[in-house]
């Protein structure tokens, strides 16, 4: 079956991608046994399916994603967690004692895994996989830019961690927790994140981020990691 | 009486602003012009200037309006008070409320709302300067803003008005032609789906004229559609291959 695009081509909503309706993946739709793009992004083939990687757009939780959430409600059998923007997730715990054992209060920040996401809502893994985050600076960033912040095999995020000496926890939903040795270091990390968000599309970003951090820290701070 | 004094189309078939009968006004499109919105577009069609901004999907306020199986699409078409010759009072007039509705319905037919249950997608169309064809240019801008916001949709929407002026069918009416012409028919299409998503008619056209007008509009819409796609591609052509 022919494909009507070249790999990594920019496709627009409504663009014909394939004749094989079985190959419709993320960011596409089927109309009359043909596959069309539904979002603006790069067209690519993933696991033999035609997909569009969007440039922008809402975060779509996938099972296994690591997210950071804010507890907004405590219930007898679980919690409700805000994942920023329009998303709220549910944690269901069958055992009442376990709920109490977690000792989560409204407003507290947790780090958790996505278990399931669908029409009924987003569900997070319960139990020991939930980690409570007790201190740090919570910043948000556009979820579509998170892969750029992490970089290829974590190159960007590791560099920021190393240069600023901060510990960072990145949620796929766009929330990031930063813990640093001093406010200046934390500020440098936040500035780096903001730069990545602003210039996510450009090349040679890692170097510019590095320079920014160095200029903020005056170049004299020893990295701690 | 007034028509005779004001000659809208010369004997050579040149319109009052120097265009031919089947010619669009110069179209300028810019994408991603507003920082605070999730997606935005600016469309300039001759002297008509329009901004469109999209927010969302985001939480619905008030909450009881949320739908369990799909998103709601809010649309606000608004003309700034300085967009017309005589100051337009602030607030939504009857006309603006109607246009908000028709734009919303046109967009609802292409946007996949069922992908974001319990949320709202808000579209704001702000007319900075009006010179005829604001609903069509507004729709053109709104669909681009939606695409830029990364909202899944079946197709872009392109729109143009056709009309009858002094017995001639003309494409893309300006304000004067709209006011003193015989008919004005704004049409919006999802060109790839080949479906008409908005069609209104002010004035009278015979069956034959209507058919011809529709063909003419299709031609104009394809031209606008091409420019929309070029603008979107240009905006993202400098995008390097991100590590996704």
From CA B4, how far away is CA A22, in angstroms rounded? 62
Compare CB distances from B154 to A38, A144, A201 and report the shortest one's residue.
Answer: A38
In order along its 244 residues, chain B shows pLDDT tens digits of 554 567 888 888 899 889 999 999 999 999 999 988 989 999 999 999 999 999 978 888 888 999 988 999 999 999 999 999 999 999 999 999 999 999 999 999 999 999 888 889 999 999 999 999 999 999 999 999 999 999 999 999 999 999 999 999 999 999 999 999 999 999 999 999 999 999 999 999 999 999 999 999 999 999 999 999 999 998 887 654 444 4
- Give contacts of A 16-35 with B, CB under 8 A: 16, 27, 29, 31
**Contact yes or no for A63/A72 (Cβ under 8 A):** no
Q: Does domain A137-216 have CATH number 3.30.1370.10?
A: yes
* SS3 label, residue B75: strand
Residue count of chain A? 225
Residues of CATH 3.30.1370.10 domain(s) within chain A? Answer: 137-216
CB of B155 within 8 Å of a chain A CB? The answer is: yes
Instruction: Choose among A224, A68, A222, A67: nearest CA to A161.
Output: A224
Q: What are phi and psi of A104, to 5 degrees?
A: -95, 140
d(CA A218, CA A146): 27
- φ/ψ (deg, to 5) at B79: -100, 130
Fill in the DSSP letter of residue B146. Answer: H
Q: Which of B121, B17, B151 is nearest to A27 (CA)?
A: B151
Phi-psi map region of B186: left, alpha, beta (phi>0 left; psi -120 to 50 alpha): beta
Alpha-carbon span A41 to A51, nearest angstrom: 9
C-alpha distances out from residue A1 to A22, A27, A48, B71, B72, Å: 11, 19, 12, 35, 37
Judge if pTM exceeds 0.80.
yes
Q: Residue B215: CA atoms inside 13 Å, Cβ hemisphere, count?
A: 7
Say what the ipTM of the complex is: 0.87
CA A28/CA A1 separation, integer angstroms: 17
Q: Which residue of A has its CA nearest to B234?
A: A10
- Is the Cβ of A151 closer than 8 Å to some Cβ of chain B? yes
Q: What is the pLDDT of residue A156?
A: 87
Question: Domain limits of chain B?
Answer: 18-237
Minimal C-alpha gap between B60 and chain A (Å)? 9
The residues pairing with B160 across neighbouring beta strands, listed in sequence order, are B187
- The domain defined by A66-133 carries CATH number 3.40.50.300: no
Q: What does the alpha-carbon distance between residue A50 and residue A48 come to, in Å, rounded to a whole number?
A: 7
Q: What's the whole-number mean pLDDT along residues A9-21? A: 91
Residue A77's pLDDT band (cuts 50, 70, 90): confident
How much of chain A, in percent, has pLDDT values that exceed 90? 12
Q: Tens of pLDDT along B182-214?
A: 999 999 999 999 999 999 999 999 999 999 999
Which DSSP string corresponds to A151-181? -GGGHHHHHHHHHH--EEEE-TTSEEEEE-S
Q: In chain B, positions 87-146, which contact chain A (CB-CB < 8 Å)?
A: 110, 112, 116-119
Cβ contact, residue pair B152, A38, below 8 Å: yes
- Hey, are the CB atoms on B232 and A27 less than 8 Å from each other? no
| A119 has a chain B CB within 8 A of its CB | yes
Residue linked to tokens 């872009």: B156
Q: Does residue B237 belong to the interface with chain A, where contact is any CB pair within 8 Å?
A: yes
Q: Is the pLDDT of residue A1 over 70?
A: no
Q: Do B243 and A151 touch (CB under 8 A)?
A: yes
Partner residue opposite B240 with nearest CB, options A56, A58, A202: A202
Q: Do A14 and B38 lie within an 8 Å CB cutoff?
A: no
Check residue A176 and give left, alpha or beta (phi > 0: left; psi -120 to 50: alpha): beta
Buried b (16+ CB within 10 A) or exposed e, B199-230: eeeeeebeeebbeebbebbbebbebbbebbbe
Q: What residue spans in chain A does CATH classification 2.40.50.100 cover?
A: 9-54
Which CATH number applies to B18-237: 3.30.230.70, 2.40.30.170, 1.20.810.10, 1.10.760.10? 3.30.230.70
SS (H, E, C) A23-39: HECCCEEEECCEEEECC
User: Looking at residue B65, what DSSP letter applies?
Assistant: G
Given CB atoms, is A14 within the 8 Å cutoff of chain B? yes
Return the CATH number of the domain spanning residue range A9-54: 2.40.50.100
């Amino acid at each position: 079956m022919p494909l009507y695009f070249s790999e990594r081509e920019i496709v627009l909503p409504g663009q014909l991608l394939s004749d094989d309706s079985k190959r419709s993946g993320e960011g596409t739709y089927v109309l009359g046994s043909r596959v069309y793009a539904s979002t603006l992004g790069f067209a690519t083939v993933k696991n033999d399916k035609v997909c569009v990687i969007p440039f922008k757009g809402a975060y779509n939780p996938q099972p296994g994603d690591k997210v950071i959430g804010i507890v907004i409600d405590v219930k007898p059998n679980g919690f409700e967690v805000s994942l920023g923007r329009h998303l709220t997730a549910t944690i269901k715990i069958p055992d009442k004692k376990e709920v109490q054992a977690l000792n989560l209060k409204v407003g507290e920040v947790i780090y958790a895994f996505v278990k399931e996401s669908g029409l009924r809502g987003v569900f997070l893994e319960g139990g020991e996989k939930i980690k409570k985050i007790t201190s740090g600076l919570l910043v948000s960033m556009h979820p579509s830019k998170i892969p750029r912040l992490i970089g290829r095999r974590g190159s960007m995020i590791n560099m920021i961690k190393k240069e600023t000496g901060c510990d960072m926890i990145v949620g796929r939903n766009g929330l990031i927790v930063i813990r640093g040795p001093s406010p200046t270091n934390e500020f440098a990390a936040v500035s780096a994140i903001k730069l990545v968000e602003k210039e996510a599309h450009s090349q040679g970003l890692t170097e510019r981020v590095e320079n920014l951090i160095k200029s903020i820290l005056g170049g004299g701070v020893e990295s701690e990691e | 009486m007034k028509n005779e004094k004001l000659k809208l189309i010369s004997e050579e078939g040149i319109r009052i602003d120097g265009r031919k009968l089947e010619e669009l006004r110069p179209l300028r499109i810019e994408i991603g012009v507003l920082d605070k919105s999730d997606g935005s577009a600016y469309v300039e069609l001759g002297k008509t200037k329009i901004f469109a901004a999209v927010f969302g999907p985001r939480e619905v306020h008030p909450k009881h309006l949320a739908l369990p199986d799909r998103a709601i699409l809010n649309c606000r078409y608004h003309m700034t008070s300085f967009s017309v010759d005589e100051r337009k009072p602030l607030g939504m007039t009857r006309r603006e409320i109607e246009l908000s509705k028709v734009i919303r319905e046109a967009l609802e037919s292409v946007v996949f709302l069922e992908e974001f249950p319990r949320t709202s997608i808000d579209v704001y169309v702000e007319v900075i300067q009006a010179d005829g064809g604001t609903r069509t240019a507004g729709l053109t801008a709104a669909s681009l803003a939606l695409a830029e916001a990364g909202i899944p949709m079946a197709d872009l929407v392109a729109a143009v008005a056709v009309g009858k002026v002094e017995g001639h069918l003309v494409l893309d009416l300006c304000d004067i032609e709209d006011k003193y012409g015989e008919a004005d028919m704004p049409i919006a299409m999802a060109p790839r789906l080949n479906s008409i998503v908005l069609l209104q008619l002010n004035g009278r056209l015979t069956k034959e004229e209507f058919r011809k007008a529709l063909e003419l509009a299709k031609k104009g819409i394809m031209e606008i559609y091409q420019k929309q796609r070029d603008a979107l591609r240009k905006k993202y052509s400098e995008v390097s291959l991100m590590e996704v």
